[in-house]
């Protein structure tokens, strides 16, 4: 009985330390997840008349610092960059088409509204969540013409979304070089599109 009790007492500090380590890791991961992130969930190309249009869904998370900066009136510009290539076996891929779209997100303190500007079209939202929902949907963006591609050829599409550092407000440009709060780049999303059915 005494020996069993000594064994329990011997393991108790180790169990407590292990529990604290696990709790610390969980707290750290939840703090890390609370930062800025961009991730493309899905993307596809659809034919419309003489063009191919890009549609995609992006997961966007802002850190507390970014949300504060938006509410202070800073405008953030995002770039959506698309590329279509023809893979080559023994050489660099042939670039068939590239397209870039710029989207801006800002807050108007006087009207207490969030603004999303895309291709000279402005949409107004009452909450940041609604504005982020709009920002996360890429819809019917013309990326290339049907005449740019040939039937029977294989193609690969790449999509990337990122915060445009060149258009960061001057007050944040230097901080943007060193702080993770302003480093927002999605992993490159690649897929093999079915262009001809």
Task: Give the range of the structural domain holding residue 27, as residue numbers without chain letter.
Answer: 1-33
Long-range own/partner contacts, residues 59-63 (CB < 8 A, 24 or more apart): 59/136, 60/132, 60/135, 60/136, 61/33, 61/34, 61/35, 61/36, 61/37, 62/36, 62/128, 62/132, 63/34, 63/35, 63/36, 63/181
pLDDT at 165: 84
Q: Which of 70, 64, 66 is nearest to 108 (CA)?
A: 70
Q: Is residue 197 part of a domain?
A: no
pLDDT at 91: 81
pLDDT at 190: 97
46 & 23 share domain: no
Number of domains in the chain: 2
Lowest mean pLDDT among 18-32, 34-48, 173-187: 18-32
Please provide the average confidence, as pLDDT, over all residues in the chain: 83
29 & 81 share domain: no
Per-residue pLDDT for 21 more than 50?
no
Per-residue pLDDT for 1 more than 90?
no
Could you tell me the two tokens for 26?
A: 């969980």
pLDDT at 100: 97
58 & 134 share domain: yes
Per-residue pLDDT for 187 more than 50?
yes
12 & 94 share domain: no
5 compared with 130, residue with greater pLDDT: 130
């Amino acid at each position: 009985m005494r020996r069993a009790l000594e064994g329990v007492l011997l393991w108790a500090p180790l169990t407590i330390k292990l529990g604290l380590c696990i709790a610390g890791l969980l707290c750290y991961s939840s703090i890390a997840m609370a930062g800025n992130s961009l991730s493309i969930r899905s993307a596809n190309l659809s034919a419309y008349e003489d063009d191919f249009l890009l549609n995609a869904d992006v997961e966007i998370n802002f850190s507390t610092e970014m949300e504060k900066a938006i509410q202070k009136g800073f405008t953030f510009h995002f770039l959506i960059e698309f590329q279509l290539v023809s893979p080559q076996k023994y050489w660099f891929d042939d670039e068939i088409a590239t397209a870039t779209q710029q989207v801006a997100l800002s807050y108007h303190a006087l009207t207490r509204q969030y603004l999303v500007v895309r291709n000279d079209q402005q949409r107004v939202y009452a909450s940041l969540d609604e504005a982020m929902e709009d920002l996360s949907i890429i819809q019917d963006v013309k990326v290339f013409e049907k005449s740019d591609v040939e039937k029977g050829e294989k193609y690969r599409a790449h999509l990337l979304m990122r915060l445009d550092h060149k258009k960061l407000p001057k007050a944040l440009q230097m901080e943007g070089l060193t702080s993770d709060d302003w480093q927002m780049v999605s992993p490159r999303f690649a897929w093999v599109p079915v262009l001809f059915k």
